[in-house]
Amino acid sequence: MPELLNLPASALDAYRGAVLSIGRQHPLVEEELEGQLQPLHYPASRHDRAEFLAEHGETIKIAVATAGSGVDAMMLDRLPHLEAVMNFGVGYDAHDVEGLRERNIPLSNTPDVLNECVADTALGLYLDTMRRFSAADRFVRSGKWQEGPFPFSTRAHHRRVGILGLGRIGFDIARRFEALSSEIHYWSRRAKDTPGYTYHATPRELAENVDVLVVAIVGGPETVGLVDAEILSALGERGVVVNIARGSVIDDEALIAALQNRTITAAGLDVFVDEPNVDDRYLELSNTVLYPHVGSATRETREDMARLTLENVRSWVTSQTLVTPV
């Protein structure tokens, strides 16, 4: 495979050894960075990070972070010459965005290339939650079918579906639900030109008017705990929650209580607050479907994300611009 970065000598001279790699990189990103820029690797152990930054912080000019990793406030204070940050993934809430903005340090992410696969995951998680396909698979494998039929599940089509956050991914999710003859309702920061879709002024109003709440809003401080006990109560006892956004958007205590008490019917979750650690109470609930954050985890999409990350690296070190700035 030809080099994707293919950097000129001037860029290599300026940035070799000045790149910080944060988290476990996609093999394509790792190969290209190692081959041309010889990055420094941020320690996985928190215990070693202060010493690492004291030794290398002055030399770092750009940072490349994997999903779930980021440049936080402590790092910013110790990276005085940081010029830009490249984020592998569409979500960037792991970064100190305000701190980057205050220092005029641009941040890129990898939008659009993952929309379709995340939307597929939302639909698959919803169907699995309603029709209990993975539970049916376990039922067959366990030999229980010989003892009697699998319990009835719930019809998935002709539902009122609410999209919490009608952005790029939210639109693709909505299109998939249209194929199930669903009514599409949504809440976003502002109404959009969406003929046939119903806009609601608040998340609570959205929850009051739908059977299914699909959480597709960005993570970060502004949305922490947005889906709380009030929203879940408004959704009601026949309600279903699907979350492919960030675990932080849902109040875990409120959701677990709602599932335990049958305040809502079920939940399908691809994301959690403290991944990969999942609250044990979720594991004990029969009315949940739990995925290990696989929204964009296809070979093709992750390679597209890797290429876009590298395009941003190349663009910055050659022209001081980003292809997909946040």
* 271 falls within a domain: yes
- Which of 102, 237, 275, 284 is an active site residue? 275
| 156 and 84 in a common domain | no
Q: If you average pLDDT over every residue of the chain, what do you get?
A: 96
**pLDDT of 280 over the 80 cut:** yes
Q: Express as a percent the part of the chain with pLDDT over 70.
A: 99
Closest CA relative to residue 226, chosen from 187, 262, 192: 187
Cα separation values, 221 from 72, 93, 190, Å: 13, 8, 19
Provide the 8-state DSSP code for 16.
T
- Judge whether 63 and 79 are in contact, CB under 8 Å: yes
> What predicted TM-score, i.e. pTM, was given to this entire model?
0.91
Amino acid 2: pLDDT: 44
**CA 257/CA 241 separation, integer angstroms:** 13
- Which of 132, 159, 200, 293 is an active site residue? 293
| 195 and 85 in a common domain | no
> 293 catalytic, yes or no?
yes
- Which of 246, 302, 311, 314 is an active site residue? 246
| 310 and 239 in a common domain | no
**pLDDT of 67 over the 90 cut:** no
**pLDDT of 29 over the 90 cut:** yes
Amino acid 3: pLDDT: 62
| 200 and 74 in a common domain | no
**Residue 171 belongs to a domain with what CATH number?**
3.40.50.720
Query: Which residues form the domain of 60?
Result: 9-111+300-319
Cα separation values, 153 from 34, 44, 130, 150, 168, Å: 50, 43, 6, 9, 31
Please give the average per-residue pLDDT across 172-187, as a whole number. 98
Report which residue type is found at 114: L
| 226 and 206 in a common domain | yes
At residue 121 the predicted structure's pLDDT band, cuts being 50, 70 and 90, is very high
At residue 140 the predicted structure's pLDDT band, cuts being 50, 70 and 90, is very high
- Judge whether 111 and 324 are in contact, CB under 8 Å: yes
> 157 catalytic, yes or no?
no
Amino acid 65: pLDDT: 97
Give tens-digit pLDDT for 197-256. 999 999 999 999 999 999 999 998 899 999 999 999 999 999 999 999 999 999 999 999
